[in-house]
């Protein structure tokens, strides 16, 4: 049964909506001083970050009217931002695909959006930033739960800070010991990778992200230089047990790719083993190709070292 709501509470929510839309600039005719509306930018975001997909799925996930979405897509196709490509598993199905021109248009706008939000958050100290993020997460979770949907992304991503590399090292060691049976030499290797990353960190070309749930770290990923021009290394992907089942691993990889493209990398490379079943599925889904493999005995186990690459 719906719960009666007092008029002053309805007015308070409407007041907050007006305040927040003014703060983030969505009332401007063109979002981010561009020719695109908020809805059009959201469509571009979905295609840029979640890959090729049928129009029906995109419309369902965004809750858009079919005719409205069709007009947006027609505009994008006419401008060369989006094309339709056959599905690899069903040639009868056409998928929406963001073209190279589409990425060239979208990525500066995405960067501008991140800068504007960063400027907004920079007005506040660390504790107030975390209070704000927690409040946003609470609102999102309550609204999703009330709609009967599983809360899809109960996490936030942030750049690494002091103490994070120690956490990454410890959690890798603990999880791979308990779940894979690996010995302590793996934690030692992760510690060396983390120390090297911090020692030579170049923020223009490298980044590490920490995923948090309720203020606690639950995941990580890093983009590092490879030593080969134009090639970045995906490293330190980890999703802790409480955060599994929400698509966090895929989200972390997407964030890494977004930064890599903006930094000018043309290719991504990563090392894994045949034992990382879940991670390998993520890499396959993003388009990575296995380019080398070698049977080895490492971390107390017989395994196959694998090198995967992706053209950005």
pLDDT for residue 25: 61
Confidence of residue 90 (pLDDT cuts 50, 70, 90): low
Measured CA to CA, the distance from residue 311 to residue 232 in angstroms comes to 10
Measured CA to CA, the distance from residue 210 to residue 156 in angstroms comes to 8
Within 8 A by CB and 6+ apart from 240, the residues are: 171, 175, 217, 218, 219
Residues in the chain: 312
pLDDT in tens, 9-64: 878 888 887 777 776 665 454 445 677 888 888 898 888 877 788 888 788 778 78
pLDDT beyond 50 at 149:
no
Please check whether residue 281 is in contact with residue 247, taking contact to mean a CB–CB distance below 8 angstroms. Answer: no
Name the residue among 161, 244, 247, 253 with its Cα closest to residue 198: 161
Strand partners, 223: 207, 234
How far CA 28 is from CA of 4, 115, 254, in Å, comes to 35, 17, 28
Name the residue among 131, 133, 157 with its Cα closest to residue 253: 157
Strand partners, 97: 83
């Amino acid at each position: 049964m719906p719960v009666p709501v007092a008029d002053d509470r309805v007015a308070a929510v409407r007041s907050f909506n007006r305040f927040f839309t003014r703060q983030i600039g969505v009332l401007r005719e063109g979002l981010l001083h561009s020719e695109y509306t908020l809805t059009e930018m959201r469509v571009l975001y979905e295609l840029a970050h979640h890959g090729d997909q049928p129009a029906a799925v995109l419309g369902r996930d965004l809750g858009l009217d079919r005719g409205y979405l069709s007009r947006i897509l027609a505009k994008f196709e006419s401008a060369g931002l989006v094309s339709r490509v056959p599905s690899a598993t069903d040639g009868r199905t056409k998928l929406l695909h963001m073209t190279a021109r589409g990425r060239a248009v979208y990525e500066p706008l995405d960067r501008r959006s991140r800068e504007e939000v960063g400027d907004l958050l920079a007005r506040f100290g660390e504790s107030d930033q975390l209070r704000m993020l927690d409040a946003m997460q609470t609102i999102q979770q309550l609204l999703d739960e009330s709609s009967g949907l599983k809360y899809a992304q109960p996490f936030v991503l942030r750049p690494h800070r002091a103490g994070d590399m120690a956490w990454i090292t410890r959690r890798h060691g603990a999880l791979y010991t308990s779940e894979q049976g690996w010995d302590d030499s793996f934690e030692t290797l992760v510690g060396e990778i983390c120390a090297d990353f911090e020692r030579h960190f170049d923020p223009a070309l490298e980044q590490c992200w920490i995923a948090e749930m309720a203020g606690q770290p639950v995941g990580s990923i890093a983009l590092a230089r490879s030593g080969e021009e134009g090639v970045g290394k995906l490293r330190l992907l980890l999703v802790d047990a409480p955060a599994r089942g929400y698509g966090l691993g895929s989200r972390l990889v997407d964030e890494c790719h977004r930064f890599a493209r903006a930094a000018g990398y043309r290719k991504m490379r990563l090392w894994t083993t045949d034992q990382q079943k879940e991670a390998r599925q993520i890499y396959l889904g993003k388009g990575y190709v296995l380019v080398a493999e070698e049977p080895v005995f490492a971390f107390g186990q017989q395994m196959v070292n694998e090198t995967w690459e992706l053209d950005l």
